[in-house]
Structures are given as structure tokens and as C-alpha cells.
Amino acid sequence: MNEQLTATLDPARVRAVPPGQVVRRAPRPHAVTAVDHLEALLTVTQGGPLERSLLELSRAAGCTIETARLAVVTLDPVDHALSVDIRQATAEERWILAWAPVTGIVDLMLDWNLLTLDISLVELSEWLDVSVALTSRAVDWLALTPGVVVVRSQRAADTEARVRITISLDDCPLTAEARSAAG
């Protein structure tokens, strides 16, 4: 071994990372997929609704129509609503896609170990880091889920609107799957 290499491997010369400091890894390049493109479009439109065709998506993402179709099919149906059955849609048929952080609310409740969450829409929006309108959409979609009870109460101003969400862990399909996977 040469001396320079030996010197760099010397443990006495290795700098330790101070406690509490996080060493960040450099982002690695990856090929942009049709799913990445869809997620970027939803981000730009702040959750949609996003109107496209498979042909437009495939051209924008640089992939085949079937790859674009697969990208749309793989989106979580809990958080994404489509206006058509994408498996049957023609390449030119226009469809509308909307997104809402439904699983984000459920994950938040599970992380906090809460079966009931009583919170203002503004506070919930801040926790989810999305707009109040998008949070409201997510709460509406969550209310349609079995095992979930949503009660909205509204005061004088829209900014004071509150929501109470109660989840039955065994009856809600979003939590029942998580419980069976964990234990």
C-alpha cells in the first residue's frame, strides 16, 4: 500500500460526525417515469383535477401508451380518483385525475396513536402541508371509507371549521390491513 492511501485509512485521522448531526446522502439520478410525471403534474395543479389522455401522458413522459396506462393504474385508489376506467380508456380519450391525502390523514392518526382526531381544517392542512381545499377533499373522501366517521362543525368563519374523525381499526380497510401486516 502506498503511504497516502494508508494515511487516509488511519482511524486516528477519520473525522467522526458530531452527535445530532445528520449526514445526508447525495441524491442519485434516476430515470423519470410516467408515475413521476403524473405526480409532478398533480403537484403543479395542487392535487388536480388534472385532465389528460393516455396519449398526452405517454408523449410527455416519453413512454409507450401501455406504460402510461400502467402508471395511472398503479396510483393508490384511496388517494386518487379517476373519471374513467383507465384499463378500458382509449389512447385519445380524455380523463380527469384528482388527488387528496387520505392516507396521510390515516397515517397521521396512527402515528399519534389516535382513534379520534378533533382538529380544525386549517391545523390539519398545516400538518399535511397542503391547502385547506385539498384537506377538505381528503376529509370528504375519508368519510366515504367504511369504519370511518367524520363529523364537520363549522363556526362563523371558514377558517374556524373543525372536523372530528373517528376510525375503527378493525372495520376500516386502511387500518385493518396495517394491523394484519404488523402482527
Domain boundaries, given as residue ranges, for the chain = 1-99, 102-182
Residue 92: what pLDDT? 96
Which stretches of the chain score pLDDT less than 50? 1, 3-9, 14, 17, 180-183
Q: Can you name the residues that pair with 118 across neighbouring β-strands?
A: 164
Buried b or exposed e, range 159-169, using 16+ CB within 10 angstroms: eebbbebbbee
Quick one: CA dihedral 103, 105, 109, 115, positive or negative?
A: negative
Residue with cell 386518487: 80
Residue 73: what pLDDT? 92
Q: Which pTM does this prediction carry?
A: 0.70
What grid cell was written down for 183?
402482527
Instruction: Give φ, ψ of 148 to 5 degrees.
Output: -125, 130
Q: How far is CA 140 from the centre of its chain?
A: 16
The CATH class for the domain spanning 102-182 reads mainly alpha
